Amino acid sequence: MSDHHTNDRRGFLRCMAWAGTGALWTVSGGLASSISLDQAAAKPAQAKGFTFLQISDSHVGFAKPANPDAKATFQEAVAKIIAMPVKPDFIIHTGDITQLSKDSEFDDADQIIKQAGLTVFNVPGEHDMLDEGQGKAFLNRYGKGTKGAGWHSFDHKGVHFVALINVVNLKAGGMGSLGAEQLQWLKDDLAGRPSSQPIVVFAHIPLWTVYADWGWGTDDAAQALTFLKRFGSVTVLNGHIHQITQKVEGNVHFHTARSTAFPQPVGGQGPSPGPLKVPTEQLHSMLGITTASFVRGQDQIALIDATLAS
Amino acid sequence: MFKTLKAGALALCLGAAASIAIGGPAISAQAQAPAGPTIKIDNFVFGPEALTVAVGTTVTWINQDDIPHTVVANDKQTFKSKVMDTDERFSFTFTRPGEYGYFCSLHPHMVGKVIVKAG
């Protein structure tokens, strides 16, 4: 990497001051509003409902200038979960658990996340499909009871969770892909559910087009969203782009989480979607985790992003 | 690099017997420059994006990013590298004329082509 590129990335970083802030989003009846984290913290803990945690893009095994020890920052993120005053019911990991799908990397990731003592639901990122079997290593570990490349769904306290895989069988020139078989499964999985049931969909690559030139989207996501349209509360949680982005479309709230390994540039605002090298003292403010809270009876979903620096 | 070191150690142990070719089209991280033309992967771009060569040419791709990439023919059969981490290489010898589109199966927006002309 030439100095020229490094300077570009550093220069770009000055535009990223927003990335260290957290916001609480509430969605009700398709209207979104946000209040600051301080206000959120002042609210009493929700006695009913539940929280779960999203962690993403841990890239265990990554050890390059953007983060010489991604294992250590993943460990820090898990320590934050352990320290939470209200224990989340479970964790979802939205992919790129490892850097190169090595057994040793999966082993390290498992050892770290299991310290939280919570059930973990995983979807693979493209970095978790690099074994000889192109995803067999992932499925052997996390695929029990799942279909296809690992898609599955479950209910938790009245909320329906759907794990989608959009990192397999990608086509030249395309973006993420769900594929006809998975789309049919999704249609069947949602059929017959009351439109009042809150739905949470999670997948690695964003299910809306964040930046097409860098492949930050899913080619056939629109079809999946037609099945979700009739539901009153849909939350879509993704990773892959190592930064927070959000969008509300009708009753669907899209959100991407930070990575625990390294940040990436805003789409189109850097030389490539590769790791963004930032000064060491800034790294922790650009890594983080997301907490999602459901408030019973209010049909509200609140997402709180916290950095590893906070 | 590890692979190369291992191969070196093997050569020491086996002496002359190790001169049997260990090469072939494969991923490697050798220090020496490849004989044929190279396509560099830098900032999620294949450079040059289109390369014209004569039949029989061996083309070598080198990943200069700190993120892994692959090189896969659009038909997913003609050639297909394993995952290439930083500085790793993949080589393929084109024995038939034609236009060979390829992409990175991890980041499919990364595309390129090799145009092979009859000698």
Residue B14: pLDDT above 80?
no
Looking at residue A17, the DSSP 8-state letter turns out to be G
Domain count, chain A: 1
Type of residue found at A232: G
Residues of B in contact with A271 (CB under 8 A): 43
- Judge contact between A84 and A123, C-beta under 8 A: no
| % pLDDT > 70, chain A | 83
Q: Mark yes or no for CB contact B108/A175 under 8 Å.
A: yes
In the predicted model, what is the mean pLDDT of chain A?
87
Q: Mark yes or no for CB contact A272/B101 under 8 Å.
A: no
Q: What number is the average pLDDT over the span A177-192?
A: 98
Nearest CB among A172, A174, A212 relative to B101 is that of A172
Structure tokens at B92: 């393929």
Q: Mark yes or no for CB contact B44/A272 under 8 Å.
A: yes
pLDDT at B1: 38
Q: Mark yes or no for CB contact A172/B102 under 8 Å.
A: yes
**Per-residue confidence at A301, pLDDT binned at 50, 70, 90?**
confident
pLDDT at A30: 34
Residue A15: pLDDT above 70?
no
Structure tokens at B16: 């002359």
Q: What number is the average pLDDT over the span A161-182?
A: 97
pLDDT at A39: 43
pLDDT at A45: 36
**Per-residue confidence at A310, pLDDT binned at 50, 70, 90?**
confident
- Judged on CB neighbours under 10 Å (0-12, 13-18, 19+), A108 is buried
> Helix or strand or coil: residue A177?
strand
CATH of the domain at A50: 3.60.21.10
pLDDT at A109: 98
CB contacts < 8 A (A, B):
60
For the ranges A39-53, A89-103, A175-189, B29-43, the lowest mean pLDDT is seen at A39-53
CATH 2.120.10.90 is right for the domain spanning B38-117: no
Range(s) of the domain holding residue A27: 3-306
For residue range A34-63, list pLDDT tens digits in order.
Answer: 444 444 443 433 335 899 999 999 999 999
- The neighbouring-strand residues paired with A295 are A300
B29 touches chain A (CB under 8 A): no
**Per-residue confidence at A1, pLDDT binned at 50, 70, 90?**
very low
Closest among A150, A173, A148 to B72, alpha carbons compared: A173
pLDDT at B119: 75
pLDDT at B30: 57
Pairwise CA distance, residues B56 & B58, whole Å: 7
Structure tokens at A251: 């009753």
For residue range B23-82, list pLDDT tens digits in order.
Answer: 445 565 555 677 899 999 999 999 999 999 999 999 999 999 999 999 999 999 999 999
Q: Mark yes or no for CB contact A126/B107 under 8 Å.
A: yes
B25: closest CA of chain A, how far (Å): 17
Q: Which of residues 49-108 of B touch A (CB under 8 A)?
A: 64-68, 72, 74, 83, 85-86, 101-103, 105-108
Q: Mark yes or no for CB contact B105/A271 under 8 Å.
A: no
